[in-house]
Structure 1
Amino acid sequence: MTLNPLEQRGIPLERQVRSWRELDVEPIDPDHCDPYTRCRIIAMNGIEAEAVLFSHQFARHCPDPEVRRRLAEVRYVEQQQQKAVNWLLPGLASVLETTLAYEQVAVDLTAWVARSEPDPYLRQAYQFGVLEDFDHLFRYANLYEMIEHRKADSIVEQLTEVMPGRPTKLHHRHPEDNVREPYDRATAQPLSKLHALTVTAAEQQTMNFYMNVGPQYMEPIARQLYQEIALIEEAHVTHYESLIDPGETWWEQLVTHEYNECYLYHSFMEQETDPRVKAIWELHLNMELEHLHVACDLMRRHDGRDPQEVLAPELPNVLTFEPNKQYVRGLLDTQIDLTTLGTGYVRDAHERFRRMQERVHGGEEPPSERVMAQHEDLFGREYRSQTEDAARERERNHHA
């Protein structure tokens, strides 16, 4: 179903504030939920967190008190949306189980974006990043089996493979080499702008999550692995946010944020398998439609332009969480040895990359390698997904 959010009206803003009873959502059942329902929850939490952080930054740079009041009004509702979405995650799930789901989001969201991205340079940025998140999932899966004695497949349910990607120890590049060329706001397709904002928000939320939960573990190897991967997530946020044209005005960014929320709530509502969660996506979509109209009005009044100059007339095809096994395997076959140099990609370990590796690792094996050695000592093997035949059978059963 196509939707033109510029024409569709939602719930009036003055009716959007919810009571505690309405915000007290029942969490999903971690043992019986669709893994992609959990992925959609994690993704939308990142989108809502980005909306709130962006609104705060806008307010700090805006001298107009009336605009700041309008931003605050919408932001309060966005905060309530973030609470309702994030509180769908179950308290029964451990931090590591949620971490595995975060990495499943990173793999299948970024792979879908890469498959759908029309701009070759931007597509390459997503292809490069997904192989690193793929390896993070692998490292955390080995840690999970060591600490909780469970299989990561119980979380990702064979929808996403658990196997090595580009080795995590090679993700530590000089910060200069994490900055990409931005798209041109005047010529970039609207879908490209939504993709860049979506993946940036998702990686930012992952970075913040690891920054905060890592010290909660007592096991030294867990604390160390979270510390290492949290630093790589910083590099990923730099990598993706640099794709966004810094010449976009605050008003352009505001309407793009709101339009993207409409796009994603609509996408997830269309594919959600849990009726109760689907009702939340639908409710929030109807809220975001009005937030978009507020943003569009502000742009017309203060930027002197019509939002239709920067937004698509109707939403793109829905963003879909689905298995990307063959696509990722194809990237592993062709791009696993890539690193970055300046704003481009190379296959050789250049001098600046080697110096950074020496400085960060200090001549020792990093946590991402030590977790594998400890897993090998305990189990005599590394953890990987079940056979591809078993994976296909589980996938057929999942979609039956």
Structure 2
Amino acid sequence: MTFNPLEQRGIPLDRQVRNWRELAVEPVDPDRSDPYTRCRIITMNGIEVEAILFSHQFARHCPDLEVKRQLAEVRYIEAQQQKAVNWLLPGVSSVLETTISYEQVAVDLTAWVARAEPDPYLKQAYQFGVLEDFDHLYRYANLYEMIEHRKAEEIVDQLTEVMPGRPTPMHHRHPVDNVREPYDRQRADPLSKLHALTVMAAEQQTMNFYMNVGPTYMEPIARKLYQEIGLIEEEHVTHYESLVDPGETWWEQLVHHEYNECYLYHSFMEQESDRRVKAIWELHLNMELEHLHIACDLMRRHDGRDPAEVLAPQLPNVLTFEPNKQYLRELIADQLDLTTLGTGYVRDAHERFERMQQQLNGDGQAPSDEVLSRHRETFGGDYRVETEGEHPVASLRR
């Protein structure tokens, strides 16, 4: 069944404000909920945070008082949506448990996008990044067993494997080599634009999360690991945000944000297993349909263009959280030794990469390697969960 959000009307904006009782959502049960329900919650929180931050930036660059008022009214609803979504996460979960879910999002969301991306250059960008998120999940899983004495398998539930990807210390590159070529806004597939915005928003919220929760730990090894991976998440945001064509006008970007929210709420409503959470996805979709129409009207009035010129005529195939084990194993076997040079990818280390490695790692072991060393000393080996045969790259066991 096709769904064109441009032809659908949602809840009128003046009926979208919720009272405290309506915002007091009950969190999901961490012991009984589908891990992918938590992944959908985390993803939509990142999407809503991006919508809020983008709207604030737009307002700061907009001289039109009436437009600023319109943005503020929609933004308040987006802020309520973000609170309702993020407050679905269980308060009993530790920061590390939530972190492991964040990395499960990064792995299976980015892998799905890579599989679905029609543009080869953009596909390569997602394939490159996902192998790093895969290794972050592995490092945090080892830290989790060390300091909380529990296993990440209880969180990811065999949907996502926990095993090495591209080694985390090798993710530190010179900043200029994290900038990619953007897609061409006039020729790019509308799906490519949605993918870039989605993955950028997801990585941005991970960056923000780590930079804020990292110092809340008392254990020095945890503080150091969050610091290291937090810096890599900054690299990832640079990597993904540079894929977006900077020639898009503010109005064009606004309709892309609203259309993407419709796409994702519709996708998650279609696959959600928790009926109570599904009702929230449906409610927010009906709110976002109205936000999209407001953005489209602003684009017509101020940009002089029809939004249909830049948006997909109907929503693409549903974005799906599902296992990507075989796909990731194939990427590990084929692309593990890649790094970046300029806006491209190379297999051999180069001068800028080696200099950055020496500056960061030259005086000793990187925190991510220290986690593995400490885990091996304590438990006699590293923590991993491989559900289908042996790891495709045996050298990673060294």
Compute the TM-score of the two structures, normalised by the length of structure 1: 0.97
Aligned to 2:11: 11
The ranges of structure 1 where at least 4 consecutive aligned residues each deviate by more than 3 angstroms after the TM superposition are: none
For residues 237-261 of structure 1, the C-alpha deviation after alignment (integer angstroms, 9 at most, x for no partner) is 0000000000000000000000000
- 1:267 lines up with 2:231 in the alignment: no
Q: How does 1:117-196 map to 2 (within 5 A)?
A: 117-196=117-196
Match of 2:34 in 1: 34
Q: What amino acid does structure 2 have at the position aligned with 1:108?
A: D
Q: Deviations over 1:118-160 (max 9, x none)?
A: 0000000000000000000000000000011111000000100
* Aligned residue runs from structure 1 range 1-400, under 5 A: 1-388=1-388
The Cα shift of 1:362 comes to: 3.1
Structure 2 unmatched runs, 5+: 391-398
CA deviation after TM superposition for structure 1 residue 389, in Å: 7.1
Task: Please tell me the residue identity of whatever aligns with 2:36.
Answer: Y
Equivalent pair of 2:163/2:386 in contact (CA under 8 Å): no
Counterpart contact for 2:142–2:371, Cα < 8 Å: yes
CA apart distance, 1:386:
4.9
Structure 1 residue 361: Cα displacement: 1.5
Amino acid at match of 1:347: R
Aligned AA for 1:246? P
Partners of 1:105 and 1:386 in 2: how far apart?
A: 18
1:387 is displaced (CA, Å) by 4.1
Counterparts of 1:263 and 1:155, CA distance in 2: 27
**Secondary structure of the equivalent of 1:6?**
helix
Quick one: which amino acid aligns to residue 70 of structure 2?
A: R
Deviation at 1:202, TM superposition (A): 0.0
Matching residue's letter, 1:44 = M
Alpha-carbon shift at residue 360 of structure 1 (Å) = 1.3
Question: Which residue pairs with 2:393 in the alignment?
Answer: none
Q: Taking structure 2 as the reference length, what is the TM-score of the superposition?
A: 0.97
1:334 Cα shift? 0.2
How far is 1:368 from its partner?
A: 0.3
CA shift digits 1:144-188 (9 cap, x unpaired): 000111110000001000000000000000000000000000000
Task: Tell me, in whole angstroms, the C-alpha distance in 2 between the residues paired with 1:359 and 1:299.
Answer: 47
Q: What is the alpha-carbon distance in structure 2 between the residues aligned to residue 244 and residue 231 of structure 1? A: 21
Cα separation, 2, equivalents of 1:39 and 1:389: 26
Per-residue deviation, residues 81-105 of structure 1 (Å, max 9, x unmatched): 0000000000000000000000000
Deviation track 1:297-318 (CA, whole Å, cap 9, x = no partner) reads: 0000000000000001110000
Structure 1 residue 2 displacement after superposition? 1.9
Deviation at 1:388, TM superposition (A): 2.4
Measured in 1, the distance between the counterparts of 2:150 and 2:37 equals 21
Percent identical pairs in the alignment equals 82
In structure 2, what is the Cα distance between the partners aligned to 1:67 and 1:12? 18
- SS class of match (2:84): helix
The answer to whether the 8 Å contact 2:228/2:368 transfers is yes
Aligned mates of 1:312, 1:346 — CA distance in 2: 34
Q: Deviations over 1:368-392 (max 9, x none)?
A: 00000000010001000054279xx
2:365 alignment partner, SS class: coil
What residue identity is the alignment partner of 1:260? N
> Aligned AA for 1:326?
Q
> Cα–Cα, structure 1 residues 389 and 329, in superposed 2: closer, same or farther, change >3 Å?
closer
